[in-house]
Amino acid sequence: MEPSHVDKPVRGTERQRAGSLVVFSDDWGRHPSSCQHLVRHLLSQFPVLWINTIGLRQPRLDWFTAVRGWEKVRQWLCHPRRSRAMGDEAAQNPQVLNPIMWPSIRFRWERRLNCVLLRKQLIGNISKLPRTRVLVTTIPLVADLIGHLPVDRWVYYCVDDFRQWPGMAGQVIAEQEVTLVRAADLVIAAGQRLAQHIAELGKTPHILTHGVDLEIWASPVPGPIPEAVLQQTRDLEKPWIVFWGSTDWRMDTDFLTALANRLNRGTIVLVGPVTDCDPVLRKLPRLVLLGPVPYPVLPWFARQAAVLIMPYRRGDGMEELEPLKLREFLATDRPIVVRDLPANRLWQDALDLVDTPEEFAARVLLRIEEGVPPSQLAARARVREEGWPAKARQFAAWLFPEVSPSS
């Protein structure tokens, strides 16, 4: 499905706007979150100080915590301050900081300690940035820093409802989010259900739905596929039923079990990090947990797939979920079978919605045989208006209303 036109991020030798961004979010370059997509398209216009944080998950005695903990220690020891631009040629933008932090936020003394640590490590760096300095956070826990950093505007970019996620300090997150929403100069929500959640906290947010890199998904895969990926997939029987993203507690084991038990040929290929998933998944026939691959390789998986799937479960914050991969799926010409969730429902004419394991398995098998209906392909035409460059322009207009848009 070729877009009629593809917006490209502005590439320039000089920034066209006054101001700078300070961003608290997930580790830069670790995986392409919505915040990273937006900021990547603004690098040519604003200096960006990106602050990698410890996240929201409470540390536990498990393998995932050990691996993630070692990653953070290695960052602190080897890369306390670095510049890296996720495939962008702007060598010094963003400036990425890995501040040392206490790894837990459950108790008040832990949050106070982190507040002190962050202030000491950040104030000098932020003060060097040009004004207007706008701080954007996807993490409610930075509410403790309000009034303690030399920024001109606070923006909360709400991308998920983390209060009910397993492994999170839900009560602490809820309290900090209330503080952040009330104090923020601006709140942006990634979807209608999240906007309703913010409204219940007393503020009306802007809504900015996720975008998609149309150029990546509509073009041939750039460069050769890594040999490691080819080796991992060489012996996987086709047709492939493909999911990409984190394989974690959000996956519906009953959905995948029903499909695996009905497949008599082919492979269910789950691409991406594996954390907190049901151990049953590792034992299912014809299902492979492939692990993470480079983001630019995902379109290759889409082209190899007979069907793309999103077998998420319901409950515990799932109604507010805004899957970043949804528009990526829609930018392909593959059949799509997904769980009936509010965000997916907005595209029900462009994909197949299902709500039981039996229906999920039956619909996937049907799409393997019959392919994607022409009516669904036609309905996907509107995804062409969902490119990240246009989303980034709107994002910047809200963050810097005093600055006229660049040409």
CB-side neighbour CA atoms (13 Å) of 324: 16
**What is the chain's mean pLDDT, rounded?**
87
Q: Is the pLDDT of residue 75 over 60?
A: no
Instruction: Name the phi and psi angles at 308, rounded to 5.
Output: -105, 140
Q: Please choose, from the candidates 257, 341, 335, 273, the residue with its C-alpha nearest in 3D space to the C-alpha of residue 302.
A: 335
Mean pLDDT over 308-327 rounds to: 92
**What contacts 283, CB < 8 A, 6 or more positions away?**
none
Q: Which residue has the higher pLDDT, 202 or 407?
A: 202
Residue 393: band (very low, low, confident or very high) from pLDDT cuts 50, 70, 90: very high
> Which candidate, 21, 74, 72, 27, places its Cα nearest to that of 46?
21
Confidence category of residue 8, pLDDT binned at 50, 70, 90: very low
Q: Which residue ranges form the domains of the chain, and what is each CATH number? A: 20-211+387-399 (3.40.50.2000), 214-385 (3.40.50.2000)
Q: Which of 86, 98, 92 is nearest to 48 (CA)?
A: 92
- Higher pLDDT, residue 317 or 117: 117
Residue 295 has pLDDT above 60, yes or no: yes
Q: What whole-number distance in Å separates Cα of residue 289 and Cα of residue 282? A: 7
According to DSSP, the β-strands at 81-83 and 95-97 are antiparallel
Give dist(CA 223, CA 290) in Å, integer: 21
Q: Which residues are CB-neighbours of 72 under 8 A, at least 6 positions away?
A: 54, 98, 103
Cβ proximity of 22 and 137 under 8 Å = no
User: What residues contact 18, with CB distance under 8 A and at least 6 apart?
Assistant: 130, 131, 132, 403
Pairing relation of β-strands 48-52 and 95-97?
Answer: parallel
pTM, rounded to two decimals: 0.86
Q: What is the mean pLDDT of residues 211-236?
A: 87
Let me know: does 249 contact 276? Beta carbons within 8 Å: yes
Give 104's pLDDT tier (boundaries 50, 70, 90).
Answer: confident
Alpha-carbon distances of 180 from 142, 147, 160, rounded to whole Å: 8, 11, 15
Please give the residue that has the higher pLDDT: either 223 or 25. Answer: 25
Residue 392 tokens read as 């980034």
Q: Do 138 and 188 contact (CB within 8 A), yes or no?
A: no
315: left (phi over 0), alpha (psi -120 to 50) or beta: left
- What pLDDT sits at residue 19? 95
